Structures are given as C-alpha cells and as structure tokens.
Structure 1
Amino acid sequence: MRRLRTALAAASGALALLAAVSGCGLKSGSPMVDDVVPGSVGRGLPLKGASLTVTSKNFSENIVLGQMVGLVFKAAGAEVLDRTNLPGSISAREAIVKGDADAMYEYTGTAWITYQGNAKPITNPQAQWAAVRGADLKNGVTWLSQSTLNNTYSLGISQANNAKYHLRTLSDVAALSKKDPSAVTLCVENEFASREDGLPGMQKAYGMAIPASHIQKMDAGIIYTQVSKSSSCLLGEVFTTDGRIKAMNLATLQDDKHFFPNYNAAPELHSRTYEKYPAIAGLLDPLSARLTTQVARDLNAKVDVEGRDPHDVALDWLVSQGFVKKG
C-alpha cells in the first residue's frame, strides 16, 4: 500500500532527508521557466513579486498536482521554485510545516491518520476535511478547499469477469464469498494483507469469508495485470485514481460501508505564506473544484501508461480547462 509504505519510510530511509529539510532547507529544485499567462485565474497578477516554492510527493498523481500549483502561481506573476518529487509523504509534509516549501496538494486521509495520529477516519468527506484543517492550524499549516478527487482504496475486477458476477459494492463481494467461496480469489500487496486498516479490517467490516488459500500477495503493478487477465485474481487491491483502471478496462467496487478513509486532495500551505498572499485561495479553489477522481485517472494514465512527463500533462490540462494560457 503506497500510503503505508511512505509512512514506514519516514521512520527509516527518509530520516537523513528530514534532517536536511528541517535543519538546512531543501537542497534540490529548479525555477519554473514556463511562459504562461492568466486564463480564468491569475488575472491582475496577484502574486507579482512573490517568490514561492511548490513541492509534492514522489508518485505520478501528486507530482502532476504539484506542477499545476506551480504553473498557476507562475501565471499569476510569481517566481516559482519547483521542488516536487520528494521521496515519501513525510519529507514533503515537513517542507510545508517548516516553511521550506509554500504549497502542495495533500490528502485528507493521510493527514488525519498519519500526521495527526487518529485511529478512525471520519466518514463524511467534508467533515474530515474540516477536522484536518482545524487540527493543522496549530502546526502552521493552512488547508484550502478540497476536491472530490479521492485517491482511496478499492477492489478492482475485469469487465469480463464482472459480466458474470455483477459486483458493484464490497458488500456484493461479501455476499459472493458466502454463497460461492470458491469463486472469490483476491490479489493484494503484502502490507494490505496484514494491516488492520487493510484486508483484515475490510473482511471484518463486511463479513467476507475469503479462504486464506484464495488470497495471493504480490507487487501492485502485477495485481492490475493479473486482474485484467481475468485469471488468477478475480479481484485485486487498487487505488481509485490509478490510470491503469481505465487503461486495463477494470471496474472498481464501491466501499458502501465507508471502511476506508477518504483521501480527498486539497492544497495545503505554509500558514505564513497564506497570510502574506491570501489571493492564493482564489487561484487554487477553482482548480480543486474541477479535480475529480475520473480526471485524476485520465491524467495519471497519461503519465503511467503513455509515459508522458508530469509537467507537460499538468500544463496541457490547465490550458485545456482555460485556467492558464501559454504566452
């Protein structure tokens, strides 16, 4: 599980990086040199004269979102330093907290569970965002409005197999596991298989009866391939915004009992940056309002399936939506 791995990485390989972030400032980065001008956002150049740093974690979706923030800032008149693609969640988070970076897109579930130490998610997405925002103010972090982009967990199934089983929800999987235990085979990552907030908790919450012999553990990329082949994995652990869902024509099942946290993407800012440049909300709120889970799947596929550069994907989307224009 990507989020679980990044949390664990914070306690091991990221320690040296964290020391550099908190003690000496970030060491990498390059200026954004794009010739972009305002479209529907950034008119009047409200960030003219500002020098801002954007950051992100090191997976495709978050890099694309970080590039969007930087390009919007650039179009609004700011000089922008690009420090996206930091390893793990904690390094990017610390950059925002310490003021070594000014803005990034973060996920509400990651903040609520990993950073703020809560054991149980809040079912209502808006209530979870509000709780995260309130708790982070004391950390010097300000959250702007969230998107409906929800990069949470689900189970995926091939369309060919689903033509036979007609599964729509995780409750449907539980019913099938009881009616025909031999039919349900499940492929998951190692951590998801052992964590209480992963497979064991999901099975308990839904009353699933999947024999241990029908659960296979493998790397995430292999899961998508095996599920799409409709062979050894009837179902597989997936991320709801993964571009391979569309590319491999998979269906995802609804978490109808809201077991998994909501991982809605929203901009988080170093609070002093927001105090100095409150116009940032007017720049990023329209962007977040347009970001959906399906949009994320499409953009992620351009990077992970088509092999395009995240910066180019971000720029093309912003231009296509009219947020910025190329100069």
Structure 2
Amino acid sequence: MNQIIQILNVRRGDLWVALLQHLQISLVSLLLAMLIAMPLAFWATKHKKAAEFLLQLTSILQTIPSLALLGLLIPLVGIGTVPAVIALVVYALLPIFQNTYVGLTGIDPALEEAANAFGMSRLQKLTKVELPLAMPTIISGIRTALVLIIGTATMAALIGAGGLGSFILLGIDRNNTALIIIGAVCSGLLAITLSALIKWLEHASIRTTLGVFGVCLLFLVGSGVYQTINSQTETVTIAGKLGAEPEILINMYKELIEDGDKHVKVTLKPNFGKTTFLFSALKNDKIDIYPEFTGTVLETLAKKPVTTTNLTEKQTYQQARAVLAKQDNLTLLKPMAYDNTYALAVKASFMKKHQLKTISDLANIQNQLKGGMTMEFIDRGDGFKGIKKRYRINFPVKSMEPALRYQAIEQGKVNIVDAYSTDSELRQYHLNILKDDKHNFPIYQGAPLMRSDFAKRHPQIVASLNKLAGRITEKEMQEMNYEVNVKNADPSQVAHKYLVRHHLIKEN
C-alpha cells in the first residue's frame, strides 16, 4: 500500500493524463459504435435475412484477437488513437446491434397496430412507441459495449494511444505490482462509474438520454479543440520504447534540448511501444525523435540484409546511419558509449557449478538447460536462431514477457535467460553474462533518431543531443536502470542527476 501511495504522489499528473486519454478513446469508440450499429438495427427490423447476416458478421468480428486486429490495422492507418478506436468500435458493434434489434423486434405487435391505427408516421412510431419500450434492452447493450471497450482500451498503450494500459504495461515491464494495480483499479472504477450512469438512463426519458450523450459529445469536441489550439505552438515530441532505460534517455533529451533553447517546448511519450511502432510513428510525423540502437537498425529496420559479424562500433554506426539515410531519409545522431547488446545470462551459482565462462561452454550441458526468453529474441536471427546456428547449441525455450523471464530464473523454473547488458535485473537477481566468444550479437549503441528534414530545421537540437555522444558507460546505465526499476526512483530525476553530475546542464 505504501508503494501505491508513493507512486500516486510521484505520477499523479501522468495518471490524470492517462485517465483522460482512456476516457476520450472509450467515449469516441462508444459513440461511433452506436452511430453505426443502431441505425443498422432499425433498418434490419424490416429485413430479416439481412439481420441474420449482420448478427453473424458482428459476432465474427468480435472473435478476432485484439492484438491481431491491431496488427492488421497498423499498416493501413498507422499507429496511435485511430487504429485503437477502430478496433474498439469493431468489438462494440455486436452488443449494441443485437440488443437494439432484439429490443425493437420484441415489442408487442398489438402496440404496433395501435400506433398504426392512430396514424403515426414511421418516425413518430419509432420515437414515441418503439424506442421508449425498447430502451431498457438497448441501454443494456450499450452498457455491455462500454465495459468491453474500457477493458479492451488498455491495449491501446501498445500502439502509442496512451490510456491506463500504459500503467499496466509499465508495471509488467518493471515487475512493479503497484503500477499494475493502479492501472487495473482505475480502469475498473472508470467502467463501474460509466456503467452506473448508463444504467440510470434505462428508465430515463428519451430527451434526458439524448442530453447525456450530447454532453459526452461536447466533452469530446471541447477536448479536441483544446488539444488543437495547444498543438498550434511548435513542440518537439520525443517518444521512448517500453522500459526504464528509454524513459531515462528521453528525459535526458528533453532537458538538453530545453537547456539549449528556452523557447522550445518538449513533449514526452514514454512507454510508447515496440520498435516497429516507434519507427512507423517517426516516419509518419507522429513523433520527432526517439532513442534507437545501431544493431537494431541493421538487424530489424534495414529492408535489405546487412552482415554485422565482426563489425567494430564505428563500422556498425556508419552502416546504420547510411542505411537509415538512404532507405528512409532519417538521421541517426552520434551514439553514446555503452553497448546495450543482447546476452545470455545464468545465475552466478549455476555458472560456478558448471564452470561456465562463454556461450560455447553451454554445449557440454545443453541437455540440462531450460530457457526462458522473449518472443523477439527467440525469433531474431541475431538472437536464439543465431545461437543455435553459430554455436550448434539447442535446448528447450519458453517464450515469456521480459520481466517474467527474470522471475522465472529466480524461482528456478528456468536456468538461462536472454538479457540486455544494461538490465538492472542482472544485478538484482545476481546473474552473470556468458561471453559471446563467437560474436553472434551485433553492437547496440544508442543514439537519437529523427527525420533528416527535422535535423536540418533544428541544428540547435542536434547540437544539444550530441552532447551525449560518447558518454554513459554500461555500468552507469545499469545503475540508473537499477535506481528506477528497483529503488522506484523517478526517471526524470535520475536523468537530471546524471546530466548535472557530468556538467552537461547546470543545476537549477
């Protein structure tokens, strides 16, 4: 409980922003789903065959896994709020359409005949007879859709749309239960509150119901106008991947840029998502800068295969810079000193027991190995695939989320994991890295990545960020990650202390 209170105090502003984002995404998705599903249901009451088809179609759409749907939408509409809203609308169609259709077709035929006898028009009959009678059933469908939307909207954080899911994903990444609880509880409370409001509308008049939805619409329009007005001031948007290290780095970028030019306003988007999401956002002008690694450029972002074996740090950077400039018109600034490369790690006691020093030594005990590794590492050519090919080693491996693999080795469920050389968990769980004696892993030096036109327009920003070139050792980065992940320090404070200590900025 103390940890939860501490995080709420430190991240109170972030929580309000995430809550507002979650509310906006949820209400926009609900209103759009209603605008699509309800008119279709009204029309379908007179077209029975079409109604059956629409019910089947909306049922099929709801069975599509959310991650798969987001993955399908990203190439079409990019990342951020738009694909998140489209996915949520898709999931909300079934309960709204089904309940509206059932509510309207379940009305006593005698009442329909009476309305006709009074000479009511189709619109009069709908608004004065059918809708009031069907309203409890329709509202029930809207409530179901809303709860579904709010729960599923936590996935929006995976594609940079923000929301309360950012707290949950951050908690999973840092093995911080308090962050997960805060995100989950706030999402649950939001669902309960809005569900209770809609429940109250079941027996309210049509005018009251329309009034409530009108207020919601005004809220969305107002917040959209406010954001548009704010966005007219030129800002620099810096995003980071999920985890402590990217968040520390983007806070350093922010301070260096604002220290170099007092008129520049920097907006941070921490825990934005995976590499491909950030890369797409940068190319599509959704963000301006994010920290990338030289090895990732050559192994993941290069469209044509690039040989990274035995390249020096300088050669790796030069190749990465050339690939990005030619392929995507992007500029990779000068890299920092540390090499955050992939590694295989085991417990110190396991290493001593089997007299391990290098990855090659694993060949003698591969029948005793049980691996826990990230899905990305298992699938990468410079990851487990490369290990098997280059070292002729193979052993069973389970795919796990980054934080979970460290818990698994601590609990003895696995005895070898993949790691980054600057991971704080190496120190936290007393793990040792095996030497990559056959050079399977390329060099991963971090550097700011931006569009080339942005770099040309902002030479002062380039100069400010280049102050980090050749700085930050692996030991320093691991220690900073440890402060954030284990000691629960604020990433912005950790970044500030480093910059001040190394005289890159002056203490305020």
TM-score bracket, normalised by the shorter chain, equals 0.7 to 0.9
Superposition RMSD in Å: 3.1
Number of the residue aligned with 1:236: 417
Number of the residue aligned with 1:96: 282
Instruction: State whether structure 2 residue 11 is matched by structure 1 residue 11.
Output: no
> Which amino acid in the other structure matches residue 312 of structure 1?
Q
Instruction: State whether structure 2 residue 142 is matched by structure 1 residue 81.
Output: no
Number of the residue aligned with 1:71: 255
Q: Quick check: 1:153–1:240 contact (8 Å CA) kept in 2?
A: yes
Query: For residues 195 and 74 of structure 1, do their structure 2 counterparts lie closer, same or farther at Cα, with a shift above 3 Å needed?
Result: closer
> Which amino acid in the other structure matches residue 202 of structure 1?
I
Instruction: State whether structure 2 residue 357 is matched by structure 1 residue 157.
Output: no
Shift in Å, 1:263: 2.3
CA distance in 1, matches of 2:380, 2:266: 38
Instruction: State whether structure 2 residue 370 is matched by structure 1 residue 185.
Output: yes
Match of 2:387 among 197, 202, 226: 202
Between Structure 1 and Structure 2, the one with more helix by share is 2
Report the more deviating stretch, 293-302 or 94-103: 94-103
Query: For residues 19 and 287 of structure 1, do their structure 2 counterparts lie closer, same or farther at Cα, with a shift above 3 Å needed?
Result: closer
- Give the 3-state SS of the residue equivalent to 1:272 in structure 2: helix
CA distance in 1, matches of 2:421, 2:479: 12
Q: How does 1:12-51 map to 2 (within 5 A)?
A: 12=72, 14=74, 18=79, 51=235
Work out the percentage of aligned pairs sharing the same amino acid. 24
Unpaired runs of 5+ in structure 1? Answer: 1-7, 29-48
Report the more deviating stretch, 266-275 or 216-225: 216-225
Number of the residue aligned with 1:127: 315
Q: Quick check: 1:95–1:101 contact (8 Å CA) kept in 2?
A: yes
Number of the residue aligned with 1:55: 239
Between Structure 1 and Structure 2, the one with more strand by share is 1
Q: Quick check: 1:109–1:263 contact (8 Å CA) kept in 2?
A: yes
- Give the 3-state SS of the residue equivalent to 2:252 in structure 1: helix
- Give the 3-state SS of the residue equivalent to 1:324 in structure 2: coil
Match of 1:227 among 409, 417, 426: 409
> Which amino acid in the other structure matches residue 18 of structure 1?
I
- Give the 3-state SS of the residue equivalent to 1:246 in structure 2: helix
Shift in Å, 1:65: 0.8
**Number of residue pairs matched?**
289
Number of the residue aligned with 1:5: none
CA distance in 1, matches of 2:257, 2:378: 41
Measured against aligned partners, the alpha-carbon deviations of 1:29-88 in whole angstroms (never above 9, x if no partner) come to xxxxxxxxxxxxxxxxxxxx9853322223221121111111100111242222322222
Q: How does 1:111-122 map to 2 (within 5 A)?
A: 111-122=297-308
Structure with greater contact order relative to length (CA < 8 Å, sep ≥ 6): 1
Shift in Å, 1:10: 8.0
Query: For residues 163 and 299 of structure 1, do their structure 2 counterparts lie closer, same or farther at Cα, with a shift above 3 Å needed?
Result: same
CA distance in 2, matches of 1:99, 1:54: 11
- Give the 3-state SS of the residue equivalent to 2:287 in structure 1: coil
Q: Quick check: 1:148–1:289 contact (8 Å CA) kept in 2?
A: yes
- Give the 3-state SS of the residue equivalent to 1:325 in structure 2: coil
Shift in Å, 1:185: 3.3
> Which amino acid in the other structure matches residue 90 of structure 1?
T
Unpaired runs of 5+ in structure 2? Answer: 1-67, 83-159, 163-232
Report the more deviating stretch, 269-278 or 92-101: 92-101
Number of the residue aligned with 1:144: 333
TM-score (structure 1 length as normaliser): 0.76
Shift in Å, 1:155: 1.0
CA distance in 2, matches of 1:13, 1:147: 35
CA distance in 2, matches of 1:13, 1:158: 41
Q: Quick check: 1:10–1:88 contact (8 Å CA) kept in 2?
A: no
CA distance in 1, matches of 2:379, 2:241: 25
Query: For residues 120 and 137 of structure 1, do their structure 2 counterparts lie closer, same or farther at Cα, with a shift above 3 Å needed?
Result: closer
Report the more deviating stretch, 50-59 or 106-115: 50-59
Measured against aligned partners, the alpha-carbon deviations of 1:103-137 in whole angstroms (never above 9, x if no partner) come to 22111222223222243541313222111211222
- Give the 3-state SS of the residue equivalent to 2:459 in structure 1: coil
Measured against aligned partners, the alpha-carbon deviations of 1:252-307 in whole angstroms (never above 9, x if no partner) come to 11222221232221112222232233344442233131122222211222222222
Q: Quick check: 2:257–2:465 contact (8 Å CA) kept in 1?
A: no
Query: For residues 63 and 9 of structure 1, do their structure 2 counterparts lie closer, same or farther at Cα, with a shift above 3 Å needed?
Result: farther
Higher-Rg member (1/2): 2
Report the more deviating stretch, 97-106 or 263-272: 97-106
Number of the residue aligned with 2:493: 312
> Which amino acid in the other structure matches residue 386 of structure 2?
G
- Give the 3-state SS of the residue equivalent to 2:469 in structure 1: helix
Shift in Å, 1:314: 1.4
- Give the 3-state SS of the residue equivalent to 2:443 in structure 1: coil
TM-score (structure 2 length as normaliser): 0.51
Report the more deviating stretch, 242-251 or 232-241: 232-241
Shift in Å, 1:182: 4.3
Query: For residues 262 and 221 of structure 1, do their structure 2 counterparts lie closer, same or farther at Cα, with a shift above 3 Å needed?
Result: same
CA distance in 1, matches of 2:439, 2:324: 24
- Give the 3-state SS of the residue equivalent to 1:18 in structure 2: coil
Number of the residue aligned with 2:505: 324
Query: For residues 95 and 184 of structure 1, do their structure 2 counterparts lie closer, same or farther at Cα, with a shift above 3 Å needed?
Result: closer
> Which amino acid in the other structure matches residue 258 of structure 2?
K
CA distance in 2, matches of 1:297, 1:197: 22
Query: For residues 81 and 9 of structure 1, do their structure 2 counterparts lie closer, same or farther at Cα, with a shift above 3 Å needed?
Result: farther
Match of 1:263 among 444, 448, 464: 444
